[in-house]
C-alpha cells in the first residue's frame, strides 16, 4: 500500500500547533507570555526564511515540558486540543485524509513539532503513523532535551528512511503534502509531491516542476488561525 504522508502544521491544520502550544502556555500562565512570544516569533521568522537552528529552537520549546509534571502537561494538552486545535481541523483536510484511507493507503504524519504536542492530534485525525521530534524522557519525565534526530528538513528524510527499513516499506507511489519549502528534501523524493497552501518559495518550486498546488483551507477558515 502506498504511503500518504502529511506535514501537520499549516498543512493538515489551518495553523501551527507548535507555535500555538507556546502561546497557549503563556495564556494560562505557565510561561511568561511576552518574553516567550518574542522568542517564539523570532524562531518562526527564522523557520520561514529557511535558517532555523532546530536545536536552539528545541532547547527553547522543550523547556516547559521539563519544568512541569506530566499530569499537569496532559491536562493542559486536553484543554489545548479543545480550544486551539479543534478549530484548525478543516473539512477539506479531513476529506483528503479520508480519501487516502478509503484508497487503502498507509497514513502518516511527519512533523518537526514534538511528539508530546502532536501525538494526540494524530490520534484525533485517525492517522496511525507519526514521525515527530521526540522529547527525551527519563523515569517518566521530560528532560528538556531531544532524543535522536529531529524530524526537520533532511531529518525528516533520515527518520522516514529508518521507518521504511523497519516496516519493509518503500516510497514507491508515495504522496507527501506540505506547505513549506523546508520540506523540499522529502518532497523531492516521493512519487507524488503536493504543495498545500504553500509559502512563496515552495509555490515557485512547485510551479517550476509542475507539482500540484491545493488548498485545504475551508472558505470560512478564520485567518487568525494562520500563523502570520
* pLDDT recorded at residue 54: 93
* pLDDT recorded at residue 228: 33
The predicted-structure confidence for 132-172, as pLDDT tens digits, reads as follows 999 999 998 999 999 999 999 999 999 999 999 999 999 99
Residue 220 among the catalytic residues:
no
- To which CATH superfamily is domain 3-225 assigned? HAD superfamily/HAD-like (3.40.50.1000)
Q: Is the dihedral of CA 81, 83, 85, 86 positive or negative?
A: positive
Using only the alpha carbons of the chain, give its radius of gyration: 17
Q: Is the dihedral of CA 2, 176, 39, 147 positive or negative?
A: positive
List 7, 18, 105, 199, catalytic entry: 7
- Closest CA relative to residue 3, chosen from 128, 183, 121: 128
Contact predicate 93/163, CB 8 Å: no
The predicted-structure confidence for 190-227, as pLDDT tens digits, reads as follows 999 999 999 999 999 999 999 999 999 987 765 444 44
The predicted-structure confidence for 32-87, as pLDDT tens digits, reads as follows 999 999 999 999 899 889 899 999 999 999 999 999 999 999 999 999 999 999 99
List 9, 105, 179, 197, catalytic entry: 9
Cα–Cα distance measured from residue 165 to residue 137, given in angstroms and rounded to the nearest whole number: 25
Residue 218 among the catalytic residues:
no
Mean pLDDT confidence for 98-108: 98
* pLDDT recorded at residue 154: 97
Amino acid at each position: 500500500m502506498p504511503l500518504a504522508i502529511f506535514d501537520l502544521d499549516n498543512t493538515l491544520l489551518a495553523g501551527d500547533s507548535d507555535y500555538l502550544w507556546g502561546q497557549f502556555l503563556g495564556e494560562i500562565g505557565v510561561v511568561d507570555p511576552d518574553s516567550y512570544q518574542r522568542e517564539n516569533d523570532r524562531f518562526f521568522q527564522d523557520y520561514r526564511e529557511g535558517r532555523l537552528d532546530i536545536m536552539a529552537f528545541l532547547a527553547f520549546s522543550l523547556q516547559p515540558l521539563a519544568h512541569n509534571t506530566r499530569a499537569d502537561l496532559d491536562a493542559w494538552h486536553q484543554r489545548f486540543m479543545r480550544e486551539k486545535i479543534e478549530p484548525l481541523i478543516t473539512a477539506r483536510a479531513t476529506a483528503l485524509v479520508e480519501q487516502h484511507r478509503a484508497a487503502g493507503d498507509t497514513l502518516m504524519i511527519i512533523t518537526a513539532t514534538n511528539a508530546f504536542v502532536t501525538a494526540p492530534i494524530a490520534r484525533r485525525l485517525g492517522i496511525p503513523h507519526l514521525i515527530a521530534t521526540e522529547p527525551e524522557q527519563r523515569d517518566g519525565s521530560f528532560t528538556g532535551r531531544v532524543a535522536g534526530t529531529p524530524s526537520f528538513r533532511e531529518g525528516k528524510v533520515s527518520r522516514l528512511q529508518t521507518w521504511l527499513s523497519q516496516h519493509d516499506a518503500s516510497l514507491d507511489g508515495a504522496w507527501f503534502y506540505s506547505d513549506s519549502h523546508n520540506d523540499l528534501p522529502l518532497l523531492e523524493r516521493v512519487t507524488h509531491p503536493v504543495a498545500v497552501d504553500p509559502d512563496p518559495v515552495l509555490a515557485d518550486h512547485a510551479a517550476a516542476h509542475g507539482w500540484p498546488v491545493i488548498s485545504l483551507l475551508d472558505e470560512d477558515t478564520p485567518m487568525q488561525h494562520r500563523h502570520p
